[in-house]
Structure 1
Amino acid sequence: MTQDAGRDAWLFPGPGHGVVPDPEQATGLATAAARCFAGVDGQCVLDALVGMTLHRTAGPALPDAALRHLEGQRALVAWLLALIDRGGGVVPLYRKTCSNERTE
């Protein structure tokens, strides 16, 4: 299996998990996601999603169902970020400043 084929399998799970688009549709979806989140508003939404999911810690008292829910959210946000990256967009995972701070 090539590296791209493995990446496509993660971005678009097999028939048991949902519909697998053809390569042209997959490229179009990735490009559309990158365009959708390219602007300031899109980056703001991505910042919020990443903060609420990937940068959130779960304490030891979190019930199993809540942990599974959080992991599902993380998986969805990670999938969206991978799709944006594949489409040539900017993924705001490791910003050094807060979104509402000025940068020069």
Structure 2
Amino acid sequence: MADHRMADPAGWDWLDGAPATATGGDPAPSFARCFAGPDGARVLGTLTAMTLERTLGPDASDAALRDLEGQRRLVALILALTARGQGA
């Protein structure tokens, strides 16, 4: 099975606003264009509901909590990049 992890030695720093020369510069405008319009708003709303607005019960395993927290972090980054690309 192929390894789908990022091979880029720069890692994920470009998501935090660092220049991303290997990916063509600041990704925020691309995120803003991608999620513009009613379809983009629906996708962002669905991702938010599935992650940021979701809670787990007291019987949730450590693995489930870590998985959801990772999903939340990714959605938060998508929302932040989209907002920055829109000039918000």
Unaligned runs of 5+ in 2: 1-9, 15-19
State the structure with bigger RCO (CA 8 A, min sep 6), 1 or 2.
2
Q: Show structure 1 runs of 4+ deviating over 3 A.
A: 17-20
Match of 2:71 among 67, 70, 73: 73
TM-score (norm 2): 0.73
Residue identity (%) = 53
TM-score (norm 1): 0.63
- Structure 1 residue matching 2:59: 3-state secondary structure: coil
Number of aligned positions between the proteins: 73
**CA RMSD, Structure 1 to Structure 2 (Å):** 2.1
Aligned residue type for 1:61: D
1:25 match:
25
Unaligned runs of 5+ in 1: 1-14, 91-104
Q: Is the CA contact 1:34–1:89 (under 8 Å) kept in the aligned structure 2? A: no
- The alpha carbon displacement at 1:57 in A equals 1.0
